[in-house]
Amino acid sequence: MVTSTSVTVSESRQLAAGRVWRRAAALGSLWAAFEIVVGSFLHNLRVPFTGTLLASLGVLLMCAGAQVWRDRGLVWRAALICALMKSVSPSAVILGPIIGIFAEGLLLQVALRVLGAGALGCAVGGAAAVSLTLVHKIVSLLVVYGADIVRLYEGLVKYAARVTGWQGLDPVSPILLLLAVQGVLGASAGVAGWRLGKGFRPGAYQPAGERATIGLYSAQAKVTRGPRPSLVGLGLAVAALPAGLYWLSTAPLEAAAPVVAAVVGLAVWRYGGRLRRLRRPRLWIELGVVLLLSGLVLGALEGDIAAGARAGAQMILRAVYVVVLFSAISVELKHPRISSWLYRGRLAPLGAALQAAFEALPDFVSAIPGLRAARKNPAQVLAGLFDRVEYWQNRTAGPPVVVLTGQKGEGKTTLCAELAELVRSRGGRVAGILSPGFWDDGVRSGYQIEDLLTGRRLWLARRAQTPGHLAQGPYWFDPVALQFGRQALADGAAARPDLMVVDEVGPLELRGEGWAPALDLLQARQPCPMLWVIRPALLDVARERWPMLEGAPVVSAGQVTAVELAGMLLETESRRVASAGPEAAFSREA
């Protein structure tokens, strides 16, 4: 028999992982709220280096959060949540911001891990994360315009050196200067976050009513108009991007222009209004400047204005091609099948965290103060925001779920019955279903089903073939009893019990039959602590079918007692029971 200590260690690891993801969801949602509110403000004012300022703000938040919550991996998870929340942005170009935000968080996390979460780690990590915005911009320009943008830049630097008389000016110096400025800004933001985080004292924030409640799908509803994403379209766009860039690097201007025009026309026909970036005056102004500078600078360097203009035109064609293809990929990535991957298998915790982040987002957006309040008392402002983070990470902590497994005849149902009786003896209410088996001459003849809330029983399955019954293996299942079990689970969830037992989940449920509809309801609501009985061979498939099982502790019948199961399911629920009031509590003394 497994000792209670080993069970507690296994349970604590599962709970710790879930806690980190919940906290990352709340912290990432706060970061996303600043990206929305402050980013829109800066963009509307046409403030230069908006990306650098937003990155510095993100560093300040994460470094402060690293002082308050010492969970390993919190920063990179919060960055991933914030980055993925950009996927429902109305903008068709989402890949750049997603990659940039996540890379910043990853760099900061590495620095905090290697150097510690003190002032040094925050300063170095902040400098690296904010400096990454310039690196990201340079790489983006190279991807969009190709190698000719380097020649254009070098020509501009040489021209500036000639005009100013500063002969020591070389192409690398301005980049190093900008990196140094960004590094200082990032380090300052990191140290500021470190100082603010160390002074944080938790409060007792509670949102007013339900004004903050919003789901992931309601957030997405604003941006799902337009063409239906296609996996075929995604594959074609991904394949066309590198192939087209390679061809454009060698093709003459006369051949490249009609091909790019055809691609743009096809994209406009397919995506229409989703190609918002092509309608932005800023893009065409930027392309016009590139063409003009190419003609003047590259033409002057080569002694041929026409050749410089041709080089500029080729860069513009490449830029338009890249913008269109990246916009297409961004739209196709919103395919429901790709989104559903976030809710299956090992990605299920990420999907649940993303759902929780969208739920908290409106509350964080409404809580961001004006500039005057932030300047007057930044520590108080940050404390209020972090109180909200603590509230939301606690609010999204669902009741525990434990999986009981074992082979036939190992006592799974007997253990479930003992657990139900133990909880009742302590004043608790138990709902769900049991499936006790019956034997004739050493051979299992069939199963009954018991509603744990009412005590009613029906015959569920027998070995004898019966017309109108559902065959599964050697047994024939009564449709009336199957409906009885589904209703027992639904009624039990509505009764707000202290424990829900599901005995058991088998091949019928994995095919969408049996209790499957009621189990889908239990996953969506998670009304209370639950014990699901699943045989070992079916565990992996069950986790794919019901993602909430992915992080659930798994214990074997015969290696755990009813008392230990009660501890796993009910001790971790003490906060929920306490918040429900004394009438919901019951004694858990042996």
**Residue 413 belongs to some domain of the structure:** yes
Strand partners, 434: 450
In order of 154, 162, 174, 517, the CA distances from 157 in angstroms are 5, 9, 9, 67
pLDDT computed for residue 588 by the predictor: 27
DSSP 8-state assignment for residue 208: S
Place of tokens 């027992």: 488
Measured over the CA atoms of residue 98, residue 101, residue 105 and residue 110, the dihedral's sign is positive
In a domain, 501, yes or no: yes
Work out whether the CA dihedral 47, 51, 56, 58 comes out positive or negative. Answer: positive
Which residue from 371, 397, 354, 389 is spatially nearest to 64, judged by alpha carbons?
Answer: 389
Residues 450, 544 within the same domain: yes
Between the alpha carbon of residue 329 and those of residues 96, 186, 265, 303, 325, the distances in Å are: 12, 32, 16, 40, 6
Q: What is the pLDDT along the chain (590 residues), one digit of tens a residue?
A: 333 333 334 444 544 556 788 888 889 888 888 887 777 677 656 677 888 888 999 999 999 999 988 888 999 999 998 888 775 554 444 567 788 889 999 999 999 999 999 999 999 999 999 998 888 888 877 777 777 778 777 777 777 777 777 766 788 888 888 899 999 999 999 999 999 888 776 554 444 433 333 233 233 333 334 566 777 877 888 788 788 877 877 788 888 888 888 888 888 787 765 565 566 666 666 666 666 666 566 555 555 666 666 766 777 777 777 777 777 776 776 665 665 555 555 566 676 677 677 777 777 777 777 667 677 778 878 888 888 887 777 665 567 788 999 888 788 999 999 999 999 988 889 999 999 988 777 677 789 999 999 999 999 888 887 788 888 888 889 999 999 999 999 899 888 898 999 998 998 888 888 898 888 888 767 778 999 999 888 988 888 788 778 767 888 888 888 888 888 787 544 434 333 333 333 332 32
Residues 567 and 527 in one domain: yes
For residue 538, the tally of other CB atoms under 10 A from its CB is: 17
> What would the DSSP string read from start to end of 64-89?
HHHHH---TTHHHHHHHHHHHHGGGS
237 in a structural domain: yes
- At 439, list the tokens: 């034997």
Structural domain that includes position 501 = 401-584
Q: How far apart are CA 341 and CA 381, in angstroms?
A: 37
Q: What is the pLDDT of residue 189?
A: 93
The reply to whether 65 and 95 lie within a common domain is yes
Q: What pLDDT is recorded for position 383?
A: 81
Distance CA 217, CA 355 (A): 9
Alpha helices in 426-545 (DSSP H): 479-494, 507-510, 516-525, 539-545
- 3 state SS of 529: coil
By residue count, the chain amounts to 590
Helix, strand or coil for residue 434?
Answer: strand
Query: What total of structural domains would you count in the chain?
Result: 3
**Closest by Cα among 495, 405, 483 to 452:** 495
Q: Are 42 and 371 in contact (CB under 8 A)?
A: no
- Strand-pair category, 443-451 with 457-462: antiparallel
**Domain containing 464 — which CATH number?**
3.40.50.300
Q: Using omega within 30 degrees of 0 as the cis cutoff, is the peptide bond preceding 11 cis? A: no
* Predicted pLDDT at 585: 31
- CA distances, 98 to each of 83, 186, 330, 431 (Å): 4, 19, 11, 44
Residues 6 or more apart from 541 whose CB is under 8 A from it? 510
Domain match, 255 and 218 both: no
Tell me, yes or no, whether 1 lies in a domain: no
DSSP H helical segments within 294-448, as ranges? 299-302, 305-332, 336-340, 348-367, 371-376, 378-395, 412-425
| Same domain (yes/no): 213, 269 | no
Tell me: do 202 and 305 sit in the same domain: no
**Residue 106 counted as domain residue:** yes
First to last CA, the chain: 19
- Are 430 and 355 contained in the same domain? no
Q: Is 5 within a domain?
A: no
Residue 180: inside a domain:
yes
Q: Measured between alpha carbons, how far is 521 from 490 in angstroms, rounded to an integer?
A: 8
Whether residues 410 and 306 share a domain: the answer is no
Domain co-membership, 327 together with 351? no
Pair 276, 363 in one domain = no
Same domain, 459 and 362: no
Tokens of 90: 């109305």
Asked if residue 244 and residue 214 are part of one domain, the reply reads: no
Residue 7 lies in a domain: no
Distances (CA, A) of 56 to 33, 131, 187, 188: 15, 10, 9, 9
